[in-house]
Amino acid sequence: MKAIVTGHTKGLGAALANNLLARGVPVLGLARTRAPALAAAYPELFGEVELDLADGAALADWMGGGALADYIDGSGAVLLLNNAGMVSPVGPLDEQDPLAVMRAVALNVAAPLALSAAVVRASRGAHLRILHISSGAGRNAYPGWSVYCATKAALDQHARAVALDSGADARGVRICSLAPGVIDTGMQAEIRATPETNFPLRQRFVELKESGALIDPDQCAEQLVDHLLGAGFGDEVVADLRTLAH
């Protein structure tokens, strides 16, 4: 078994990569920066590629260059964790930079969809589990978050459609788009720093932090990986970790 984790250098992605490595699962991390602590702690299990996943040309070059197929080769099972994402741009349409919108869609949607297809094509019959890190924002609209809501909804619909593909499960492909809850990460700090004029619900997230209601990334990662490796993964194609955990 081998795993690929996007956005592995911080927040939930770092916690997911560390959790898998601690279980003895080799991990290939894809992100714009590196994770020296993981490299030092797991030199035999961990590899990483500096890659801007929002750069479609760079991602295409890497996927087509043979490195992905080489990494997967010989593995009976492959885990793809599409974790990388961004909440910006935040605000109404007249406040959104069109280039920032394009970058968000590239990172939040194009990259995970392309990686999912590339990993399936390179897996050569290996059992494949695809985990999209989604959000409640993909299932409920919030003011100021039109881009984030839309991109997370796209992941949910992608999972639903893949699960309907004829013979997907028979070919060993299982998929789930999973909302993990509100996690205490840098993204949350970014949300709290957003002016209320751009995000009217800002105070709600401030109160979650002040009340200690945010989820610890390591605790969340433990539950996510348990589900990813469990027998029932993919039975619920669009899911919420807070429901699955009970």
User: Looking at the 3D structure of the chain, how many domains does it have?
Assistant: 1
Tell me the torsion sign for CA atoms 38, 43, 47, 49: positive
In a domain? residue 189: no
In a domain? residue 200: no
In a domain? residue 8: yes
Q: How far apart are CA 184 and CA 208, in angstroms?
A: 10
In a domain? residue 211: no
Catalytic residue numbers?
A: 148
In a domain? residue 97: yes
The token duo for 117 is 């297809």
The token duo for 132 is 């999209």
Residues 121-138: what's their mean pLDDT? 92
Q: How far apart are CA 101 and CA 80, in angstroms?
A: 25
Residues 6+ apart with CB under 8 A from 105: 147, 151
Please give the residue range of the domain that contains residue 154: 2-182+216-241
Q: What is the pLDDT of residues 43-80, one digit of tens each?
A: 999 999 999 999 999 999 999 999 999 999 989 999 99
pTM for this prediction: 0.92
In a domain? residue 111: yes
Residue 201's pLDDT band, with cuts at 50, 70 and 90, is: confident
In a domain? residue 63: yes
In a domain? residue 226: yes
Looking at the predicted structure, is the pLDDT value of residue 246 above 50? no
pLDDT for 170 equals 59
CATH of the domain at 165: 3.40.50.720
